[in-house]
A and B are shown apart, each in its own frame.
Chain A
Amino acid sequence: MTKQTDVVAAPAPADVVAAVHKQLGERVTVDDGGALVVGPSNLIDVVRALRDDHGLDYLANLTAVDWLDRFEVVYHLCSSAGGAPIVLKTTTDRANPRVPSLFGIYPGADFQEREVYDMFGIRFAGHPNLKRILMWEGFAGWPLRKDWREAYFEQEHKPLTSRWPDGQFFFGEDKLTDWGSNTKLPPAYTGAEIGRPKPQEGQYVVDIDALRRGTSFGSDRLVVNMGPQHPSTHGVFQMRLVLDGETVVDLEPVMGYMHRNHEKIGERNLWLGNMPFTDRLDYIAQLGSEWGYALCVERMMGLEVPERAEYIRVIMAELNRIQSHFWSIGFLLNDLGAFFTPSLYAIEEREIVLDLFEMATGSRLMCNYMRFGGVAYDLPDAFMPLVNVLVNERMERAIDEIDAYLTNNEIVMERMKGVGVLTPELAIAYSTSGPVLRGSGVAYDVRRADPYGIYDRFDWNVVTANEGDVYARYAVRIGEMRESLKILRQALPQMPAGEILGGKKAWQVRVPAGEHYARVENPRGELGYYCVSDGKANPYRYHVRSPCFVNLTSLAEMCKGYKVADVVAILGSIDIVLGEVDR
């Protein structure tokens, strides 16, 4: 049922920018970096023109930069047919930051705007549900503003004189608040309502009196909280389901239970110091995350990557994709009720790939392998024979086995077919990416749409499926594993000898002032890094466009009308990794 397609190249961003400038005239200007700049009052018109007249139907990324005298909201728009993204910027003052919401044009802006509001305090006029998403409601301050000081690192807002005011040792249970110590709460805030959501008065609560009187024969709506501790949420993720009987009427994802503000840490670190942190974003596909960051900084610095390093990167990233898809298929079946049997077989293969990672990088999970301009170490001698056996013999058999037992299994089909359907139009509008987008029949793969590395040298196909349901996403993953094997079979024999790290070896890199948005196709979708450099030792702005986070925007749309048990399957098919959702 999957099909394989080639993507047609779209016009270059510079041409689109010129055409837009010509059409819209004075309402937009073009800045030095080739970005379109528009005032907040014209934003909606311009974006609508970009979408309708210039084919930029996909909002890839939305974030903001604090320039201390103003806020700059940055949009990266591209076409679902492929091509590099167009940068669109709008500015707003810091005293009363207010920008119109793009929710009506791109529903995929929903969570991304909420994130910007949460981190910068920029209000998006017209957003239907503008509230904090990563921090809790009632948290004081806007963490990613440059003048917001972190407790214990920067003096201004340090809540205690010492980190251990009563000496370093104490029994945890003796001196606890609900939040632990070491936190700053707004004045008069007790935290009493946090973590204990109450159903809204009269809206969803069962009217017990009406039931007793026997006057109510219609079904009432109930709010059910799934998570944050729930075996099927793949980590600490909460869904508030509004149920009519067992049917989902509405759903609100609640996240941030693992938020550590990766971006704030990233702006504190040196450029290279961020590399190990990227591993901990998507900890099932670590090397892909590293590649994205390395790619972004390399493009900003203008570094060349040696041939051998490019091949090593492709090999690592594709092995990564295979093991990650093994993992997600195993756990999707877990969610469907095949408790641990498929995952036991799938993870057996993953263990072998992790052995290879350990051999090459020194670590099973947190590889810290990529460097700006190459990779950290060359492959050991024992690597090639093992990876050849794996790629040419074992993996194919393992995929066949999973395929044979699961793909045509009656129960699997019954549970997955026709469940969680997302149409291609909605998939694009919600900015989904990866298997979710391709499962809806949109042949959009960053490796093909906006090529990076050396993927253009290999013969491989973008796998899509048209149904848009859970089964289609599963089928796309199976197909992608085979395509990854195809790439590996071509890359392994071609790999040249030579340098693995271009440029001068240095602990500290100098990144010229500027900005760049680089994206890679991670197993879960389009992983983007938006870095802004002011020429200093650490990034001025460091933003991660997380595929899982944006894919979750479409979760409510997919779940409406299905049963609670289907929600579990749909969430499993999106395959979220909470480290990346919450950052």
Chain B
Amino acid sequence: MSVTILSPDDILTPDQLADGKTGEMGFVTTTLAKGVNWARANSVWPALFGLACCAIEMMHSQMARNDMSRFGMELMRASPRQSDLIIVAGRLSRKMAPVIRRIYDQMPEPKWVISMGDCASCGGIFNNYALVQGVDEVIPVDVYVAGCPPRPEALMYGIMKLHEKIQAEGMDSWRDRKGGLGIQVGS
């Protein structure tokens, strides 16, 4: 079997090459889910929401040195209604638990959660009555990032893992995915 390698010059006219963005070059086939997920994964807007020490490292990961915007997710939204991702960066106290649940419920679907750091993931070193032992007691978590606090690089790795996860999943919401009903907060 012989293989012919074609260069763009062989199949495109010079005009088409010069004006390559006309959309007349051909077409791409994919599934709707893949296309949608590609778009979703590359424009994840996190909520501007920090709890504790990990929030400092979260901010560092947006700053000049680490520059999270390389991954299309620098646009932190101060309103949960405009965000797709909530990075729970820090310890979650019982007093804060209803608040974070409400913030999560205010986010539009599809939405994802990264639990950043040990406290958010499992209570960390603060194992006592005042803290929720892991944010997954209150909201469903997609990616856990370990560390106390995780370095900015670790957070970015977690975000890239989330991108992989988004690209691999269907278009269902988390309620469909997990068969849960969620809870109603507020009236």
B-contacting residues of A (Cβ < 8 Å)?
A: 135-136, 143, 150-153, 171-174, 176, 178-184, 191, 194-196, 228-231, 235-236, 256-261, 264-265, 276-277, 280, 283-284, 343-345, 347-348, 351, 354, 364-366, 578-579, 582
Residue of chain B at shortest CB distance from A276: B125
B34 at interface, CB cutoff 8 A: no
Tell me which residues across on chain A come within 8 A of B63, comparing CB atoms: 343-344, 347-348, 351
Query: CA of A181 to CA of B80 in the docked complex: distance in angstroms?
Result: 25
Tell me which residues across on chain A come within 8 A of B136, comparing CB atoms: 172
Tell me which residues across on chain B come within 8 A of A343, comparing CB atoms: 63
Query: CA of A174 to CA of B95 in the docked complex: distance in angstroms?
Result: 20
Tell me which residues across on chain A come within 8 A of B96, comparing CB atoms: 228, 236, 257-258
| Cβ-defined partner of B52 (8 Å) among A171, A173, A179, A280 | A280
B49 at interface, CB cutoff 8 A: yes
Tell me which residues across on chain A come within 8 A of B59, comparing CB atoms: 347
Query: CA of A194 to CA of B96 in the docked complex: distance in angstroms?
Result: 10
Tell me which residues across on chain A come within 8 A of B21, comparing CB atoms: none
Query: CA of A224 to CA of B138 in the docked complex: distance in angstroms?
Result: 26
Query: CA of A344 to CA of B129 in the docked complex: distance in angstroms?
Result: 38
Q: Count how many pairs of residues, one from A and one from B, have CB atoms less than 8 Å apart in the complex.
A: 146
Interface of chain B residues 133 through 152 with chain A (CB within 8 A): 133, 136-141, 148-149, 151
The 5 residue pairs across chains A and B that have the minimum distance between CB atoms:
A173-B180, A283-B53, A231-B78, A180-B137, A195-B98
B48 at interface, CB cutoff 8 A: yes
Tell me which residues across on chain B come within 8 A of A257, comparing CB atoms: 93, 95-96, 99
Q: How close is B136's CB to chain A, nearest CB, in angstroms?
A: 5
A-contacting residues of B (Cβ < 8 Å)?
A: 48-53, 55-57, 59-60, 63-65, 78, 80, 90-91, 93-99, 101-103, 125-133, 136-141, 148-149, 151, 174-175, 178-183, 185-186
Tell me which residues across on chain A come within 8 A of B186, comparing CB atoms: 196
| Cβ-defined partner of A235 (8 Å) among B50, B131, B137 | B50
Most B Cβ at <10 Å: residue of A191, A280, A343: A280
Q: Are B48 and A231 in contact, with the CB atoms below 8 A?
A: yes
Q: How close is A265's CB to chain B, nearest CB, in angstroms?
A: 6
| Given A231-B48, A256-B93: A277 touches B125 (CB 8 Å cut-off) | yes
Tell me which residues across on chain A come within 8 A of B138, comparing CB atoms: 172, 176, 180
Q: Are B64 and A348 in contact, with the CB atoms below 8 A?
A: yes
Q: Are A176 and B137 in contact, with the CB atoms below 8 A?
A: yes
| Given A178-B101, A236-B96: A365 touches B149 (CB 8 Å cut-off) | yes
Tell me which residues across on chain A come within 8 A of B93, comparing CB atoms: 256-260, 582
**7 A-B residue pairings within 8 Å (CB atoms):** A153-B127, A172-B141, A173-B181, A236-B51, A280-B53, A365-B149, A579-B52
Q: Are B95 and A259 in contact, with the CB atoms below 8 A?
A: yes
Most A Cβ at <10 Å: residue of B63, B78, B141: B63
Most A Cβ at <10 Å: residue of B95, B98, B136, B151: B95
| Cβ-defined partner of B133 (8 Å) among A153, A182, A284 | A182
Residue of chain B at shortest CB distance from A195: B98
Q: Are A172 and B129 in contact, with the CB atoms below 8 A?
A: no
Query: CA of A150 to CA of B181 in the docked complex: distance in angstroms?
Result: 32
Tell me which residues across on chain B come within 8 A of A172, comparing CB atoms: 136-141
Q: Are B94 and A183 in contact, with the CB atoms below 8 A?
A: yes
| Cβ-defined partner of B128 (8 Å) among A171, A174, A264, A284 | A264
Q: Are A283 and B128 in contact, with the CB atoms below 8 A?
A: no
Query: CA of A231 to CA of B49 in the docked complex: distance in angstroms?
Result: 7
Q: Are B140 and A235 in contact, with the CB atoms below 8 A?
A: no
Q: Are B53 and A366 in contact, with the CB atoms below 8 A?
A: yes
Q: Are A182 and B140 in contact, with the CB atoms below 8 A?
A: no
Q: Are A173 and B140 in contact, with the CB atoms below 8 A?
A: yes
Q: Are B127 and A171 in contact, with the CB atoms below 8 A?
A: no
Q: Are B65 and A351 in contact, with the CB atoms below 8 A?
A: yes
Q: Are B129 and A183 in contact, with the CB atoms below 8 A?
A: yes
Tell me which residues across on chain A come within 8 A of B78, comparing CB atoms: 230-231
Q: Are A348 and B65 in contact, with the CB atoms below 8 A?
A: yes
Most A Cβ at <10 Å: residue of B103, B132, B137, B179: B137
Q: Are B125 and A236 in contact, with the CB atoms below 8 A?
A: no
Tell me which residues across on chain B come within 8 A of A582, comparing CB atoms: 93
Q: Are A180 and B56 in contact, with the CB atoms below 8 A?
A: no
Query: CA of A266 to CA of B183 in the docked complex: distance in angstroms?
Result: 36
Q: Are A171 and B180 in contact, with the CB atoms below 8 A?
A: yes
Tell me which residues across on chain A come within 8 A of B131, comparing CB atoms: 260
Q: How close is A431's CB to chain B, nearest CB, in angstroms?
A: 25
Q: Are A179 and B97 in contact, with the CB atoms below 8 A?
A: yes
Q: Are A235 and B55 in contact, with the CB atoms below 8 A?
A: yes
Q: Are B178 and A171 in contact, with the CB atoms below 8 A?
A: yes
Query: CA of A181 to CA of B137 in the docked complex: distance in angstroms?
Result: 7
| Given A172-B140, A348-B63: A578 touches B52 (CB 8 Å cut-off) | yes
Query: CA of A348 to CA of B66 in the docked complex: distance in angstroms?
Result: 10
Tell me which residues across on chain A come within 8 A of B103, comparing CB atoms: 229
Query: CA of A354 to CA of B16 in the docked complex: distance in angstroms?
Result: 52
Q: Are B57 and A258 in contact, with the CB atoms below 8 A?
A: no
Query: CA of A181 to CA of B48 in the docked complex: distance in angstroms?
Result: 27
Q: How close is A538's CB to chain B, nearest CB, in angstroms?
A: 15
Query: CA of A560 to CA of B50 in the docked complex: distance in angstroms?
Result: 28
| Given A178-B101, A351-B65: A136 touches B95 (CB 8 Å cut-off) | yes
Query: CA of A35 to CA of B159 in the docked complex: distance in angstroms?
Result: 55
Tell me which residues across on chain A come within 8 A of B49, comparing CB atoms: 229
Q: How close is A185's CB to chain B, nearest CB, in angstroms?
A: 10
Q: How close is B157's CB to chain A, nearest CB, in angstroms?
A: 16
Query: CA of A256 to CA of B127 in the docked complex: distance in angstroms?
Result: 17
Query: CA of A580 to CA of B59 in the docked complex: distance in angstroms?
Result: 19
Q: How close is A480's CB to chain B, nearest CB, in angstroms?
A: 21
Q: Are B129 and A151 in contact, with the CB atoms below 8 A?
A: yes
Q: How close is A165's CB to chain B, nearest CB, in angstroms?
A: 13
Q: Are B127 and A152 in contact, with the CB atoms below 8 A?
A: yes
Q: Are A351 and B60 in contact, with the CB atoms below 8 A?
A: yes
Q: Are A235 and B139 in contact, with the CB atoms below 8 A?
A: no
Q: How close is A278's CB to chain B, nearest CB, in angstroms?
A: 12
